[in-house]
Every structure is written in structure tokens, then in C-alpha cells.
Amino acid sequence: MKNEEAVIDNQRVRVQFPPRNPQGKYIVYWMQQAQRADYNPALDYAICLAQQSNLPLVVLFVFTTVPDAVMRHYLFMMEGLWELAQGFKQKKIEFYCLTGDPPQVLSEVARHALELVTDMGYLDYQRKWRRVLQEKLRETDTGYTEVETEALIPVEIVSPKEEFSAATIRKKITRQMDMITLSANKGTYTVVKQSEIKLQVPFCQPTKQSWSEFCAWVFESLNLGICLEASSCYKGGRSQALKHLQTILNERIKLYATQRNEPSLNIQSNLSPYLHFGQIAAMEIIQHLSEAGGFNMLQLSQMIEQKKANDDFIQNYAAFAEELIVRRELSFNFCHYNSNYDNFNCLPNWAKQTLLNHLNDKRETQYSLDRSLQCATDDPYWNAAQKEMMETGKMHNYMRMYWGKRLLAWFDSPEEAYQVLLYLNNTYELDGRDPNAYAGVAWCFGKHDRPWQNRPIYGSVRYMNAAGLNRKFNMPAYIKKQGL
């Protein structure tokens, strides 16, 4: 990579082992987490390698069974990949979709490559894929490099350990923000020649198929389990993400600090599904944010630290940046360093102990999972939030906190409530099954929080109730909005 690039950009790149095959015929970029062409450091790195080695670049995406993913998620992802494929066609970058076990499929394809480059994932199954792929590639002469694409600042550069809360990680992030280079693309791909790659595994090229043919190929290749309809509100793809981004910057940002928690309004970015699938980068959002507000990265970092200043401009932009940067990267830190990120044992000792101390407290009532799925509890606000999630694939952020905490009062044990909440969140939310989602579920049970007043069932875990919603928000309007 170029010497003049910022230190942070260089620290994204982790060359696990260099190539040993001077006869490699192409460079492979395995696109997995970062499903985009713009603001993608891994793709940029692969393009630079291809240009330097005078070899063609081949981009691969592998469809496979992902834990908890259902039809709704695949459809959203496929919409993004379909749009992406058309962009690759214009840039004359070869793009193939494969099916199968990623390490096995990719090791076969990359056998004749000079080097395989990929992005980085933070969840167990993603890390396992990459570990196994490394082992397989070590048996060949193909080089292997990972590039961290999703975190604004690489997780291990921010902190060498799991952080307790947003308060403990905030300064570690903001003090490095001015070292980040915001750039759409750092390399331009010039076609050397066609790769003449020979694929011995099931594959398709979306640019040579209709949308219906592409869908049929994916659906026939995978056993998708529960068949949920596509979201009624959200369509996948970077172009859709940019529309949501322009709406928040043009219309909603001026109300963000004071009105984003109002459930009856939609003063949200609605970008979390697109961030989840890597269809848009946090870097790109921040660049648009900075241009709209007229500030640089150093100023933005100062605004985050001074977000409670008596200035509406600072409060609005800082509140948005706090969620996009600090809270999101805290979740990356959580999943990277805590091996129990997807279960009750991830909680701090004080939270686990206080919940278990109240294990024998009488629950308010008990509901089966089926009744929850029917939105038929005695809590109309919980029902409305559940309905919103099931129909649209996304729930209002404030309601998701209330919705999650209520399960503690309805199930026999906090462990059971935790697993039910994970199931609902991961199955129905478009932005479920990622670090933000796991951190959000854990927060409902005390993670990244502090002890509060002791009370039945919840112990000293933060409590939320319907009276609090009624006091703060226009809940009848939210109920009406959900058609209840």
C-alpha cells in the first residue's frame, strides 16, 4: 500500500502469510462482511495487489447457511449483491457467487491464486471460517491477508481488552479519529486480462442472470429454514442506504438529540440493516455527516466528547456520531474479546448475581413463545414493538430496549429470557445477528451499564416500565402507527 496513507489505514491490514507461488494467476478478494465496492479497504487493498502484480482481480461471494439467518435476511442481502454486481460489471471486475462451505470452496478456488484477501468479521462463525481457510491455504502457496473494514479504528488498536462501558472506550476512540483517512476508493482497477478462472464448485454470475434467475439459484442452493416475507419497509442495496442517509441529514438531524427516542416519530437513520450487511460503510456515513455539518474529524471527536454542551448543533451531530462510532465500536470490542457474547455468561458478575438472587421472585405473568409471536401479551406497547419488528424487520431503538427488558418479568429465569430475546431479535430483525445486536440484547440484562435501585425480579439491573413510556412519549400515537 502507499506510504503516504494514514497509520490507521495501514493498521487495518494483517498479512497472515505472504504468497510463495510466483506463478499465481490472479488475486482473489473474498467479500463476506463488507458487501460493497465503495469505502471498502479490503477491496482497495486487493485492487492495489492486482495492479502491482499485473494480475486480474476476481471477487467472490459465498452463499452458505448462516446461524439464525432466514429468508428475509437473504433477500435483503441479495438485493444488495445484485446492485453491487452491476457496479462491478461497469468497473470490469469479475464477480462470482458460489455456494458451499466457505473455507472448502475458497481454498479450492484460490489454489491457483497469488493471494487471497478478505475482510474481517467479529462473530465466532466468521472467525472460524477464516481460521480454517488459513489452515487450508497454508498447505498451498497462496498468500492470505485480512483487512479490517467495519470498525472506524481497528478493534485491537482501540483497546487490548474488553471495555466495561461506552465511558471507558470513548476517549480511546476519539483521540485517534483525526488519523483516519476518509476516502471512497484508494485504488482504480485497470483490467489486465480476464482471469480464465475455472470453478469446480456451484457458481453463478448475477450480471448474466435475471433477478428471478438469481433468486431461484440461491433458494435452490440453500435450505433457508423459516420463510419470512421480505421487509415491508426496507429494501437492500447501497443506493437505498444513501437515500436513508440523505433523509437523516436533510430532514432529521436537527431533531436528533431531542426527538430520536420518541417512538411515534421516525427521527432515526434507519441505516442499521445496511451497516449490518456491509452495504454502506460507517466511513462513508461519517464523511457525509462531516460535509453536511462543515467540520473535520478532529472537530467531530471533540463534539462527541462535548455532546452535552449547550449548543443544538453540537448535540444533534454528536448524538448521531456517538451511536454510529462509540456505541457501535463498543459492540465490536465486546464480541471480539468476550467469547460468551451470545449467552447469559457474557454479563458482568454484578448483573448475573443480582438477577440470580431474584430467581425465585414471582414473575408478573408467563407467556409462551407462541403467544409472544402472536403479539398477544397484556402489554400493548410490547405487542406494538413486536408487530413493528415482525412486519418491517426493524424496531424503534428505544422500544427495543423496553421490549427486551420486559421478558425478564415473563420467563422463569433470566437465562431463558435471554435466549428467547436472542431468538426473536436474530430471527426477525434485519440488523440482528451482529455485534450491535448481541451488545443490545446484553445491555437489557446489565451489560455496559451500572447497578441501579434494587427491585423485584430485576434486582439492580436498569428497569423500564409502561408508566415511564407514557410519561415521556406519545404512546397512543405509536400504537396507532402499528395498526393496533
The string of pLDDT tens digits covering residues 56-77 is 999 999 999 988 888 899 999 9
- Count the neighbouring beta carbons within 10 Å of the beta carbon of residue 160: 8
Q: With 80 as the cut, is the pLDDT of residue 181 above it?
A: no
CB 406 within 8 A of CB 383: no
Strands 143-147 and 13-17: antiparallel
Cα dihedral: 154, 158, 159, 160 (round 10): 40
d(CA 127, CA 133): 10
Mean pLDDT of the 157-169 span: 96
What are the residue boundaries of the structural domains of the chain, listed by start? 7-160+200-221, 238-337, 344-481
CA 73 from chain centre, in angstroms, equals: 12
**Cα–Cα distance measured from residue 46 to residue 187, given in angstroms and rounded to the nearest whole number:** 9
pLDDT tens, residue by residue, 27-65? 999 999 999 999 999 999 999 999 999 999 999 999 999
* Structural domain 7-160+200-221, CATH architecture: 3-Layer(aba) Sandwich (3.40)
Statement: residue 186 has pLDDT above 80: no
Residue 5 clears pLDDT 70, i.e. is over it = no
Alpha helices (H) in 163-260, listed in sequence order:
166-174, 211-221, 238-247, 256-259
Span 341-364, mean pLDDT? Answer: 97
DSSP 29-76: EE-SS---SSS-HHHHHHHHHHHHHT--EEEEEEE---TT--HHHHHH
The model's pTM is 0.95
Residue 292's closest CA among 324, 251, 243?
A: 251
Q: What is the pLDDT of residues 6-17, one digit of tens each?
A: 456 788 999 898
Give the three cell numbers for residue 150. 467495519
Distance (Å) of CA 368 to CA 134, 298, 303, 441: 44, 50, 46, 19
Structure-block grid coordinates of residue 215: 433468486
pLDDT value at residue 432: 94
What average pLDDT does the segment 176-185 reach?
80
The CATH architecture that domain 238-337 belongs to is Alpha Horseshoe (1.25)
Whole-Å CA distances, 104 to 101, 110, 134, 135: 6, 10, 11, 11
pLDDT in tens, 259-317: 999 999 999 999 999 999 999 999 999 999 999 999 999 999 999 988 777 788 899 99
Closest CA to 235 of 465, 5, 81: 81
Classify residue 172 as exposed, middle or buried by CB count within 10 Å of its CB (0-12, 13-18, 19+): middle
Mean pLDDT of all residues in 425-438: 95
Across all residues in the chain, what is the average pLDDT?
Answer: 92
Quick one: pLDDT at residue 4?
37
For the segment 468-480, the average pLDDT, to the nearest whole number, is 96
pLDDT of residue 227: 65
**CATH number corresponding to 344-481:** 1.10.579.10
Model confidence at 18: pLDDT above 90: no
Those residues whose C-beta lies under 8 Å from the C-beta of residue 142, and which sit 6 or more positions away, are: 19, 21, 24, 110, 111, 113, 114, 115, 116
State residue 1's pLDDT score: 37
- Indicate the pLDDT class of residue 19, thresholds 50, 70 and 90: confident
CA atoms of 470 and 484, how far apart (whole Å) = 16
Nearest of 336, 354, 332 to residue 344 by alpha carbon: 354
395: region left, alpha or beta (phi > 0 left; psi from -120 to 50 alpha): beta
pLDDT at position 7 is: 55
% of the chain with per-residue pLDDT over 70:
96
> Residue 234 has which C-alpha cell?
426496507
Contacts of 216 (CB under 8 A, 6+ apart): none
For residue 61, what is its C-alpha cell? Answer: 461471494
What DSSP string describes 255-293?
Answer: GHHHHTT-TTS--S---HHHHHTTSS-HHHHHHHHHHHH
pLDDT band at 226 (very low <50, low <70, confident <90, very high): low
Sheet holding 13-17, edge to edge: 13-17, 143-147, 115-119, 27-30, 57-63, 94-99, 203-204
For the segment 69-114, what is each residue's pLDDT rounded down to a tens digit? 888 999 999 999 999 999 999 999 999 999 999 999 999 999 999 9
Which of the four pLDDT bands, split at 50, 70 and 90, describes residue 3? very low
417 vs 404: CA distance, rounded Å: 9
